[in-house]
Amino acid sequence: MKERYKFLIVLTAFLACYFLPVENARFTNAVNESLALTKWYAREHVLLCLIPAFFIAGAIVVFISQASVIKYFGARANKFLSYTVASVSGSILAVCSCTILPLFMGIYQRGAGLGPAITFLYSGPAINVLAIILTARILGWELGLARAIGAILFSVIIGLIMHLIFLKEERERHAGEDFDFTAAEEPRSLSKTIPYFFSMVAILVFANWGKPPEESHNLWWMIYHYKWWITGFFAVSLSIMLIKWFNKNELKGWTQQSWILALQILPLLLGGVLAAGFLLGRVGHEGIIPSQYVSSLVGGNSLFANFFSSIVGAFMYFATLTEVPILQGLIGSGMGKGPALALLLAGPALSLPNMLVIRRAIGTQKTVVFVCLVVIMATLSGIIFGAIVE
């Protein structure tokens, strides 16, 4: 690095410290919100969400053959099959925009094509069955239906567009792949692989099963009351499988790969959560950007209102299901139905922490295109939906 740039960095850091507005109440409150959101994230998401996700992603890299990933998700795979499997696989997990990241990196590093990997990345947080049901019950069936249709279409369309835009790079990336899929062998039989992965996914899903609203179906409440028993059952089952089916070297390789993914992802996520908390605060609390400004800018169904709602949703961090009460408050403050849908389609699938990790996985250019596609499609969907219902 040239000495001039080093001097500019030092000077900028000095001026930032010199003029730090610690006496300003809004600034100090935003700092507190940033730390509070990070503390909440570490307590609620790292142990129960990210750690299981890291182990699942590590298992994908170590125990699933590259030929199998390419067979279903690769550039030469049947497009209908690959995008269908990617969207369904993501939706079954029903996780937040950060928890899906280790799994996305696992299949992408294993040879999945960019398009199916992006479809999987978007579908996990966006096509959440419980969230869609709650949206319909609390915010109205129109928003619930529009969210379901929009999220399913988005996951496939955005994946296909990303594939077409970066087709040349994808061909170069997959050049030389000439697997005989009929002869590809897995490290162990499907009768062992399926229950092993199913147990890990079940632990991830049930350990994070949140308390449903009072008006929810009895099934959701029953699962919530017994979720730790269910989680414990799958944890014991997984332990038995590990003892019986895996040797010491396999377990060592699995944990090492999981640790590598954790080192790549976790620092960026925590840094992004700090920034998101500083800018927008937590649910019911304000960051440096006043909430009344946001409410005043998302009324009606103008192009700007929908675009602004998409941008705010894209950068704000939403834990699973928290977007519903947030929107309930914003709609009560005058938010239009179109901007509400735009936020629902952009918010759960993206966040500032999410973007930082995606950039490390696929590069700046692809990340920018992906984010822009989500924002543009969410904006257009909001305008169309708002024109229909209002």
The length of the chain in residues reads 390
Q: Is residue 98 part of a domain?
A: yes
Q: Residue 299's domain spans which residues? A: 38-174+188-389
Burial 327-359 (b: 16+ CB within 10 A, else e): beebbeeebbbbbbbbbbbbbbbbbbbbbbbbb
Task: Spell out the residues 6+ positions from residue 219 whose beta carbon is closer than 8 angstroms to its own.
Answer: none
The span from the CA of 111 to the CA of 88, in Å, is 19
pLDDT at residue 94, rounded to an integer? 60
Residue 291 lies inside a defined structural domain of this protein: yes
22 in a domain, yes or no?
no
In tens digits, the chain (390 residues) has pLDDT values of 577 888 888 888 888 888 888 888 888 888 888 888 888 878 877 787 788 888 888 887 778 766 666 667 766 677 787 888 777 776 666 667 777 888 888 888 777 888 888 988 888 777 766 677 778 877 888 888 898 888 888 888 999 999 899 988 887 776 655 554 454 555 566 778 888 888 988 888 888 777 776 666 678 888 888 999 999 999 999 999 999 888 888 889 899 988 988 887 788 778 877 887 887 777 667 788 777 777 678 877 889 999 999 998 888 877 666 677 677 767 766 788 899 899 989 887 888 888 988 988 888 999 999 999 999 999 999 999 988 887
**In the prediction, which pLDDT does 369 show?**
94
pLDDT of residue 356: 87
Are 190 and 204 spatial neighbours (Cβ–Cβ below 8 Å)? no
Position 19 in a domain: no
DSSP letter for each residue of 193-208:
HHHHHHHHHHHHHHHT
In a domain, 14, yes or no: no
Domain assignment of residue 4, yes or no: no
The pLDDT assigned to 178 comes to: 53
Ranges of H-type helices in the chain:
3-18, 25-41, 51-63, 66-73, 79-93, 100-109, 114-126, 129-139, 141-165, 167-173, 190-207, 218-225, 227-245, 248-280, 291-297, 303-315, 323-332, 337-346, 352-362, 364-389
Of 222, 200, 218, which is closest to residue 209 (Cα–Cα)? Answer: 222
Task: Tell me if 341 sits within 8 A of 147, measured CB to CB.
Answer: yes
Q: What is the mean pLDDT of the chain?
A: 81
Q: What is the pLDDT of residues 172-188, one digit of tens each?
A: 776 655 554 454 555 56
The pLDDT, as a whole number, for residue 312 is 86
pLDDT, tens digit (0-9, with 9 covering 90-100), for 74-100: 666 777 878 887 777 766 666 677 778
9: in domain = no
* Distance (Å, whole) CA 57 – CA 78: 24
Q: What are the tokens at 182?
A: 């009929």
Domain count, the chain: 1
